[in-house]
Amino acid sequence: MTVTTIAAVREADRVDESLVSAFGAIVGKANVLASFDQRLGYARDRLPFAVFRERAGTLAGAVPRLVVRPANEDEIIRVVQLAGARNTPIIPYGNGSGVLGGAIPLGGEIMLDTRRLDKIVSINPTDAVVTVQAGMNGAEFERQLNEAGYTCGHLPQSIEISTVGGWLACRGGGQASSRYGKIEDIVAGLKAVLPDGAPLEVRPVARRSVGPSIRDLMIGGEGAFGIITEATLRIWKKPEIERGVVLAFPTQQAAWDCARLIMQAELRPAIVRLYDRVESDERTKDIALFKTKPYLAMMMFSGSEPLVTVEQDMALAIAKELGGEIGPDAPFHHWKENRYVAYSQKWHDAGYFNDTIEVTGNWSAIPAMYDAIGNAVRKIHAGVHFGAHWSHVYPEGACQYMTIRLPPMADDVALPIHARLWDAVQELTLDHGGSIAHHHGAGLFRNPWMRRELGAGLNVLQTIKDALDPANLLNPGKLGLRPGPNAKDIRRD
């Protein structure tokens, strides 16, 4: 691997003043960020690999040519049209909270920062929908909905550092997905700007039968097919009751079976979290019950009476049949108080190589998939930390969310091991019929496995991309799609 230091990039950096002037005429000079340090702040998202590289004084990708901050859809249209005329690629940027490199520039791109589009447009109580601009901060969005008596139901761990548009672009999932669904289940309609600058609107109607879903080309498209400017989301009344329960199970299989049977019984707890032995021990080491029943599960039942009590009683009856026993509620309260805290940074600051990988598997495959991945990871490096939990559950399966952590060591030793760990996890997931991503998206870092995941479907996406964006100017090189000319290969360059 050849690397270029940030200091060397700074020394060689030049700004195209004609671009500064041209984009400044659209968005205002103050909303074109041209200094090196300003642009360096947009050179990566929260992809751990990029964090490791930056910690060592190098870059995973490139420093963007400029950062442009439009205020509305009209300015975005004009920015896109100008970029097309100047053959300048664009990466839409929300808050940079993605962890797969979807917002990393690979060479020559400008960043289109959407965060000035930051307001709720309207709340429609009759239709139970809210229309919101794409750059609005997630936590502020939920706070304003709560004040109006509603919730959007999408509560990711990153809610305080992400935008609504980012949720859609990465096809995200919130912590209450077992009740409300993932973001694709919540979006009723949207607006976007296509690669040629044309506006696109998918009107927010209850359901439709007019061919394949255009909406779903944007949700999960990570800015490669269009730039989302506005979304209309389903909303629900803010729950009157939120009741948490901690359960101890004798085996991992019993915990899995409990979640499966609860969901297949058509119950919908807001929270269902199951932990493997490693993560259970971290959360229950001082609780006597878990010495004999060592597997932790947490659930939260929410809504109004009598539904909450009926749902809870039915779910706990299923748990009891499987040996589940109600335990002290301290683990639940600790989780709830820290549910939006990201723990990775403390490990990065201490020199560790910490990463998380979330995949999806069906209930029939999860036991073997979990064992195979855990065994493979531990064989790759004896000192690796590997723990998992299942925090998005559905009638047919669940998301398996894994933390992998290598101890401090030299980068030239750690990064090849890190690559082998990722390869083992993704390949074994596919071997067991799973999907390589549940809610973090594909971004850049999952490119090597997109062909095996999608098969001929990747050809379909590339064909659509080529038709909509023949110059390959919107976020090129992501989702396993064709990179732009002279794009950096982050694993080699």
Per the annotation, where are the binding residues for FAD? 222-228
Q: How far apart are CA 321 and CA 447, in angstroms?
A: 43
Rounded Cα distance, 150 and 235, in Å: 6
Peptide bond before 306: cis, by omega within 30 degrees of 0?
yes
- Residues 479 and 202: their CA atoms lie apart, in Å, by 23
Beta-ladder partners of 302: 242
| Short-list 470, 471, 49, 452, CA closest to 480 | 452
Residues with a known catalytic role: 401
Pair 91, 169: CB distance under 8 Å: no
DSSP three-state, residue 72: coil
Binding site members = 222-228
Question: Token pair for residue 460?
Answer: 């379909």
Cα atoms found within 13 Å of the Cα of residue 280, Cβ hemisphere only: 27
Task: Kindly compute the dihedral angle of the four CA atoms of residues 474, 475, 478, 480, in this order, to the nearest 10 degrees.
Answer: 20
Residue 107 phi, psi dihedral angles, 5° rounding:
140, 110
For residues 79 and 23, the answer to whether their CB atoms sit within 8 Å is: yes
Of 429, 423, 435, 438, the residue nearest 379 (C-alpha): 423
* Contact between residue 168 and residue 134 where contact means Cβ atoms under 8 Å apart: yes
Phi-psi region of 233 (alpha: psi -120 to 50; beta: other; left: phi over 0): beta
Q: What is the DSSP letter of 356?
A: E
- Indicate the residue type of 225: F
The angle at the Cα of 128, spanning 123 to 130, to the nearest 5 degrees, equals: 35
CB burial of residue 482 (10 Å; 0-12, 13-18, 19+): exposed
Chain centroid, CA 134 distance in Å: 15
The end-to-end CA distance of the chain, in Å, is 6
Going by the DSSP 8-state scheme, the letter that residue 159 receives in this structure is: G
